[in-house]
Structure 1
Amino acid sequence: MEYLEFEMPIKELQDQLQKCQIIGKESEVDVSATCNKINKKLAEARKNIYKNLTPWQRVQLSRHPNRPYTLDYIKAICGDTFMELHGDRSVGDDKAMIGGLGKIGDQSYMFIGQQKGYNTKTRQYRNFGMANPEGYRKALRLMRMAEKFGIPVVTLLDTPGAYPGLEAEERGQGEAIARNIFEMTILKTPIITVVIGEGASGGALGIGVGDRVYMMENTWYTVISPESCSSILWRSWEYKEQAAAALKLTGTDMKKMKLIDGIIKEPVGGAHTDRAGAFKAVQNQIVAAFEELKGLSEEDLVAKRMNKYANMGVYKE
């Protein structure tokens, strides 16, 4: 188990508990009272730490190396019913963007999302979750297929941004993302979006236009990463914590500004501490959102979606 810097008090207590249990096993001394005291302290420390997380600490949790990724959620939610689909039918198959058909109960969904790697080899294979233009065009192809057959779309966002390489720009990165945003606005099938990790820049927004948009509790969604924001404003990454606070990137901030529809509660300690609980929470939210949307006609669905985004950013002084 890996621990972040602010989680070290929890690690220390868990180490103490482990030592206490070992002493109890190896000797005839009754240590149950001591173990119970440590357990109480551990529960209290967890509660205090995770109840008062700063925006930067939530950013750190969203990047935790043990945090589940898109395929983890899809496989847990859909089981053996998921069938991955490949290629944009033009350039190639982007490994950073995955998509395919899967079922929750008897209902079929088109799942689309960015996929990161688990180690050095797979991170390179998945391009660190940063999609090229062909990834966004593959996503759009799958969305149009879903629209044709009346299948709802579920997008799972987890990317540090679209790939910024020269070859990506030459193949039309900006156009691909802009095209997706336009086409998703008028797509005649329900779109449910969940931010499961990092939701950075146009890379996330390229598959992030939805009728219902949710963020998991320890995720972030904004135009730029705190590090990049810090380097632009202060010419240094040292101010990333201040940048994270100023960007208003947490689910609470986004909900307050009416930019998302809800926050999905995570298990205490983050999604990586109880994967099954996190998978179930996301599945329940997808099902609940579809129940709200399935009765709408195509015209109402598109009209409500367009009004939703047209009203964003409107305020009175």
Structure 2
Amino acid sequence: MNSPRVFVAGPATWNSIVVLDRLPDPVPHMQFAEETWETIGGTSAGKALSLAAAGVDAVLYALVGDDEAGHWIQDALAAAGVPVLWGESTQTERHLNLMTRGGERVSLYLASPSEQSGGVPEDVRAAIKGSEVVVLDLAAEPRRLLPVAAELGRRVWVDVHDYDGANEFHRPFLDAADAVFCNADKLSDPLAFLRSRVKAGTSFAVCTLGAEGAVAVDAAGEIFRVPAVPVDVVDTNGAGDGFFAGVLAATLDGALLPHALAAGAASASAVLRSRHLHPLLDPVLRQA
């Protein structure tokens, strides 16, 4: 395999989506689902799909088990044209996502991948070494790769999602990052957080704001904002990953931050039109 421009490591999962009129109250009761379906999940799979759609030479590294869910994920990503380096796990990660039409979500983890031991696989190390950007998502195996990316001098991009400003699991990812992405769900002052990451040495930091678009701070401290692209939303899963991938693809093409943010918003809008992580999966998972 030729060295990819982008190496992405992290979750590729099999998800059951249940759409409700409201998230369940924490009391015994009964609710009726408005809609349900099965699909691929995982923040890293979402980024890899959007990068593939943008024509970026990227490879995903993810863990799956030798089970039905793992086979479904492998077959679907192959059919969607996403190159993947597969690591072995005792079981495939599976989630049950309770959703509302407005994008609220409760994720129940039904199964988690097994922890890896021993040395980093040589094909993984080679892919990291040959890449321009290494994307390491929040999971145990990408965390194990942080020292490898540092040793090989690769630029690391991270997405800390709904970081609250204090969770220690996120710390090594933030410390290694050349670019930081997050959302505003648990941050009382997103701009202050973005400025703190730039002050710590990142090239830029971005916070997505849902329907309000996104805000970013560059190394000079300048603030940039981009509105969300208006779209009839089918499903919100993966929109943040699409935004991340759009910014990355544009940056690799030499775009300045304001233009890269606009590309991110356009990429996210494509994801919002599909009930899967990306429209590339629509023909693949039509019956799911």
* TM-score, normalised by the number of residues in structure 1: 0.36
Determine which structure has the larger strand proportion and give its number: 2
**Taking CA–CA contacts closer than 8 Å with sequence separation of 6 or more, which of the two structures ends up with the larger relative contact order?**
2
Determine which structure has the larger helix proportion and give its number: 1
